Structure 1
Amino acid sequence: MEPSPGSEDRIAPDTDAIETAVALVGDGSCIAEARHLATGFLARVQADHGLPVSRRAMDLTQLVVSELVTNARKYAPGPVLMHLRIAGSLVEVTVWDSEPVMPMARAADPGRVGQHGLEIVMAVSQGFEVQREPVGKRITARIALADDPGGHLAGRHPQ
């Protein structure tokens, strides 16, 4: 993983947003490095900015980062950009890749081995969106920083 210039945590001007970004290149080891970057970012958010970050939020963020970066490395040629940002009580995990094909969650199939990553990300996230870009696409998942006072373990609340 090659850090992009200015990949240190920063507060964006005029927004008070705490964020970091990195360009991921290389082999599959960048997936583990992306998870490590995400947990380090959340630890600094908690220590330096006093925001609550639950163990569940740490674990789910690592899972989401792993799934999104894995898919980007698997299906898209070239580098992958990852951006982490605190937005209120959420951490936004955004992954950009050069593949223009939009991802689609597949129908449930208990016999299918693998290819459940997008379903997992959607299930544990407070919000999920995919945006087509002039080159490639950008996928954003939002995860609650603190455990839900109502006791919900998954990201989405029951309907």
Structure 2
Amino acid sequence: MVVVISPYADCASARDTAARFVAEHCPWADLDAVQLVVTELTANALRHTSGSWRLRLRAEHGELTVELDDSSPALPEARTPDFAGGGGFGWPMVLSLAGRVEVQPHAEGKTVRAIWSREPEAA
């Protein structure tokens, strides 16, 4: 497992860490999708929280898990994209790129978990 903790990292550092982790531990994963999800989750934590965030990457049992803890109790929600610069693109993108997404509220905020499963090899 790899952990990246703010304020010692930014979106670019988190994305680079994810790329190294995927290359070493789960090269089967779609690197572009993982990096986009990591970028979106960390950017949202920076934009929408007043506290710190923590990113964890884990590969085990044929799954890659990206977890981001942040200090905001507000759960992500889909909204109509605003092409004039108001956002609304990130959460639907996270939902479409990851195989499975879970959000777990807790006393300190929430954890957003994006999970990709390794496809079984064809016989």
Q: TM-score range by the shorter chain?
A: 0.7 to 0.9
Q: Is the 8 A contact 1:39 1:62 kept in 2?
A: yes
TM-score (structure 2 length as normaliser) = 0.85
Gaps of 5+ in 1: 1-18, 46-50, 150-159
Distance 1:67 1:145, change over 3 A: farther
| Residue equivalent to 2:23 | 43
Structure-1 residue corresponding to 2:64:
91
Query: Measured at CA, do residues 64 and 148 of structure 1 come closer, stay the same or move farther in structure 2, by a change above 3 Å?
Result: farther
Alignment TM-score, normalising by the size of structure 1: 0.67
The residue identity in structure 1 corresponding to 2:67 is T
Give the Cα–Cα distance (whole angstroms) in 2 for the partners of residues 42 and 33 of structure 1. Answer: 14
Structure 2 Cα separation of the partners of residues 40 and 77 of structure 1: 28
Shift, 1:39, TM fit: 0.6
Partner of 1:102: 75
CA contact (8 A) 1:57 1:144 kept: no
The amino acid of 2:39's aligned partner reads S
Aligned-residue sequence identity (percent) comes to: 29
SS in 1 for 2:103: strand
What amino acid is the match of 2:34? Answer: T
Question: Radius of gyration: which is bigger?
Answer: 1
Q: CA deviation at 1:77?
A: 1.0
5+ residue gaps in structure 2? none
Number of residue pairs matched?
Answer: 119
* Maintained 8 Å contact 1:90/1:145: yes
Deviations 1:34-69 (A, max 9, x none): 000001111221xxxxx5x23x61111101000111
- Quote the residue 2:5 is aligned against: 23
Q: Quick one: distance in 1 between partners of 2:76 and 2:121?
A: 29
Q: 1:144, CA displacement in angstroms? A: 3.6
Q: Stretches of 4+ moved more than 6 A in 1? A: none
* In 2, Cα distance between equivalents of 1:93 and 1:148: 23
How much does 1:148 deviate?
Answer: 8.3
Higher relative contact order (CA 8 A, sep 6+): 2
Mapped to 2, the partners of 1:87 and 1:126 lie a distance apart of: 15
Cα RMSD for the two superposed structures: 2.1
In the aligned structure 1, how far is the partner of 2:7 from the partner of 2:39?
15
**Equivalent position of 2:37 in the other structure:** 64
**Residue identity opposite 1:34 in structure 2:** A
1:23 is aligned with what amino acid? I
In 1, the alpha carbon distance for the partners of 2:88 and 2:61 equals 31
Q: What is aligned with 1:142?
A: 115
